[in-house]
Amino acid sequence: MPTALSNNEVPLRILVVEDEESYREALSAGLAKEGYQVELASDGSEGLRVFAENPPDLVLLDVLLPGVPGTEVCRRMRALAPVPVIMVSALDSEVDIVLGLELGAADYITKPYHLRELTARIQAVLRRVSPPPIGLPVVSGRGVPSVPEIVVAGPVRIDFARREVTASGRTVHLSRREFDLLALLLSPPGQVRTRDELIDRLWSGRDLADTRTLDTHIRRLRVKLENDPADPHYLVTVRGVGFRFDAEGRGEQPHEHQGHRDDRSHAVEET
């Protein structure tokens, strides 16, 4: 089982923002038993105050909070610090879940849930975010910059530090998720990223954040970056595998198409 200790051997801190006292108390006791340090907040305003004073390692955030709603709390927290947020709610429609993920949540779990499932989700998210954030060079005791701050690939220029993108000299406005997806595809350019890898890195591998959600984001990027989104030359599909960014703009290569055309074990919906 992954440890509940940080690299400095101190308990990882989890902020629980939950207005239902029964859930708060159960989470506090259960997570403490797993070795986490737990802080509690009963509404969005209190959660934001605690978060701003000392950002935790992870946030469990209820969606249906009195006062400031959980979706707005998530947005503000993500603007303050890159701390992973797992949203918790009785709302289980795909629209609600996708909205939470689009706002920057690392995962979404619906009530009622078992503590074992929740701790497994927490551990998965913490494993996923333990490396340096996507595309961002980090200098710390754990490592050195792994990628340059600016990458130019074909007509696309991405500034990881400023989170700015230009294509053929024009500024391109991307959502947070679109930027993170592009950053993965440009780290480094040309490397094939599988669908499973992209979904796991960007949506924690959730069933609802499946190939359709990934395809939607790929299409949006193509509209914003390609001269002809219907015939992409840069953001290329590798059939049966995933995607890559071709800095030379050669488009899909024959061997990439033929190599997987008859491999039914890799059959997936293509973009």
Amino acid occupying residue 2 = P
64 vs 151: CA distance, rounded Å? 41
85-89 and 107-110 beta bridge pairing:
parallel
Q: How many helices (H) and strands (E) does the chain have?
A: 9, 12
pLDDT of residue 267: 32
Cβ proximity of 244 and 221 under 8 Å = no
pLDDT of residue 111: 81
Let me know how long the chain is.
271
95 vs 77: CA distance, rounded Å? 21
pLDDT of residue 162: 79
Place of tokens 């989104």: 229
Predicted confidence (pLDDT) per residue in 93-115, tens digit: 666 667 767 777 888 888 888 88
What are the φ and ψ backbone dihedral angles of 49, each rounded to 5 degrees? Answer: -65, -50
The low-confidence residues of the chain, meaning pLDDT below 70, are 1-10, 92-97, 100, 129-148, 203-211, 254-271
What pTM does this model have? 0.49
174 vs 135: CA distance, rounded Å? 15
Q: Where are the alpha helices (DSSP H) in 136-253?
A: 176-185, 195-203, 211-225
Distances 232 to 3, 223, 262 between C-alpha atoms, Å: 44, 9, 23
pLDDT of residue 225: 96
Cα three-residue angle 209-215-221, rounded to 5 degrees: 115
What are the φ and ψ backbone dihedral angles of 107, each rounded to 5 degrees? Answer: -165, 170
pLDDT of residue 264: 31
Q: Which of 42, 33, 5, 34 is nearest to 15 (CA)?
A: 42
- Tell me which DSSP letter residue 23 carries: H
Amino acid occupying residue 264 = R
